[in-house]
Every structure is written in C-alpha cells, then in structure tokens.
Amino acid sequence: MEVLQLKNVTLTINDNHILHNINIDFWNGYVHAVSGPNGAGKSTLASTIMGLEGYREIQGDIIYQGENINDRSVDERARLGITMAWQDPARYEGLTIKDFLMASAKIKNEDNIRDVLASLSMNPQQYLKRALDKTLSGGERKKIELASILVNEARLVLLDEPDSGIDVESLERIFESIRLLKKRGTTVILITHSLAVLQQADHAFLMCSGEIIDKGEKEKIVKYFENKCIPCPHKNIPDEWEPAVGK
C-alpha cells in the first residue's frame, strides 16, 4: 500500500518547471531513495511534499494516506505525520539542545532524548546543556536535526542528504537510525547523491532536470552511479554551450 502518492505534480517558478510531471508512489514502511545530480530538483521535491512556503502552488495532486493534501499547510501536514530534516538545518538559535529536542518531541521525555542522542554517537552529558548556535559544527547540527526527527515519531520522514558533512563512524549510526525508523514502521524518503546512502534504501527513484526518469530496485539505480552516467540530456546546459578549457 502506498502512504504517499504524487500524481502529475508540476511546480513552476518563474516559468521554469522545477518539477515536471512527477508521478511517484511511496509504499508504506519502505525506505525509499530519491537520487540524482545537483540541481535535479530533489530538495524541491521534499519541500513540495512538506508544503513549505513557496512550494505550495503546484499542479497535480499530493495524496497522503488516501487524502489530497494540496491545500494543507506545513503544520497540518506535520500533524498528519509528515516531517523533514533539512539539507541545511535552520540556525535555530536561542534554545539549548535539550529544550530544542523537547520542543520537537512528540513524547516529551528526557530519557528518550538522551537515548536518541547517544544512538547518534553524541554524548548526552556533553551536548544536552549546549546552546543550539553557531558554536556547533556542521556535522553536529546535522545530527541534532536528525535527532529532532527521531524524537518526532512521524509516519513519513523526509531526510534531505542525511550524510552531508557526516564522518564515517557517525554515518554508520545514522544508517542504524534509518533501520530503526523502518522497524518502527515509518516510511523514510532519503534524498541523496551518495552511493552509500542509496544502499540503505529498499527502492529508489532517479531524478534529473525535475523529472523522474527511472525507478526500481536500488541495484538498478546504483548502476547509473557505477557508469558515472547521467542518462538524460542535461536540460540545464544549453546544447550550443561547450567548455572553453577542453578545446
């Protein structure tokens, strides 16, 4: 059964089709990956599903658990069980990490928050009291963002490049969290152009220039990576353009 369906979704900004006629079924309880080169429209797809400001005026339909949610606002979608970890987490300044996670949690329980931090190889002792500000490293902020998703206990989780800025050891912990989410029955949508993250998925979609150009078992999509080939003509680059250096 699919938990989320996009039907002929087109998003036009300034006459550009950032998303073009997207049709996707995300099956319930699966880990999905959406992959593709820079600028393919992956983050835009996530923002559209979450219903962020500027991404609400779409053509087509977004169906969540059988209900059309086109007109639902971000917080309404959040209440229906959709949540998202940003590619570049907002500088949510002013709270301590503990308060931030408490505010993000569905069940406000400090032990729970400690467990989640520990599971991302962050020592709760060291981090809970720290301010959520620019003194945190990029990777730490990414992990706190992920922690806020884990305590949220949503039904559908969008993770936009969960691996960016993350070290090898922590990446393994993040993969464990993804497996944990799956075990809880959460549907996960991974947005990535990393082979390692793609390997975590059950099923994958390949995106290019705002279109879904292939889908299937992850092995099938992995092949594109191995061949280092982008199968569609790059619409972003005009035909007549040639790099000066190569001549």
Partner 1 sequence: MKVNYFISDIFYVCLRDLKHYLKQRVRIMATLIQPIIWLVLIGNLMSGLTANPLTLKFLDAPSYLDFMAPGVMVMTTLFTGLFAGVRVVWDRRLEILQKMLSTPLSRTAIPLGKIAAAVVQGNIQVIIVLLTALMLGVTFKTGLAGIMVILIFISLFCSIMASISIALSVNIRNMETFFALMNFITMPLMLTSKAMFPVEAMPGWLKFIAEWNPISYAVIPLRTLVTKGWDWTVIWQSLIILCFFALCFLAGAVFFFKRARA
Ligand X SMILES: Nc1ncnc2c1ncn2[C@@H]1O[C@H](COP(=O)(O)OP(=O)(O)OP(=O)(O)O)[C@@H](O)[C@H]1O
Closest to Mg ion by CB, 43 vs 177, is 43
Judged by CB under 5 A, how many residues of this single chain contact Mg ion? 2
In the block, tokens 């809880």 appear at 184
Contact 227, 206 (CB under 8 A): no
Task: Map the footprint of Mg ion across residues 24-83, applying CB under 5 A.
Answer: 43
Distance in Å, CB of 3 to ligand X, minimum:
22
154 Ramachandran zone, left/alpha/beta (phi>0; psi -120 to 50): beta
Stretch that binds ligand X, among 23-31, 36-44, 112-120, 125-133 (CB under 6 A): 36-44
Binding mask 120-149 for partner 1 (x = CB under 8 A): ----------------------------x-
Contacted entry of partner 1, ligand X, Mg ion, none for residue 220, CB cut-off 5 to 8 Å set by kind:
none
Q: Is 43 in the site for ligand X (CB under 6 A)?
A: yes
Q: How far is the C-alpha of 233 from the C-alpha of 245, rounded, in Å?
A: 21
Q: How far is the CB of 65 from ligand X (least distance, A)?
A: 25
Q: Which stretch binds partner 1 (CB under 8 A): 18-26, 94-102, 119-127, 172-180?
A: 94-102
Does 71 engage in binding with partner 1 (CB under 8 A)?
no
Q: Which residues bind ligand X (CB under 6 A)?
A: 13-14, 18, 36, 38-44, 54, 87, 193
Q: Which residues bind partner 1 (CB under 8 A)?
A: 50, 52-53, 56, 73-75, 77-79, 82-84, 86, 89-95, 99, 102-106, 108, 148, 152
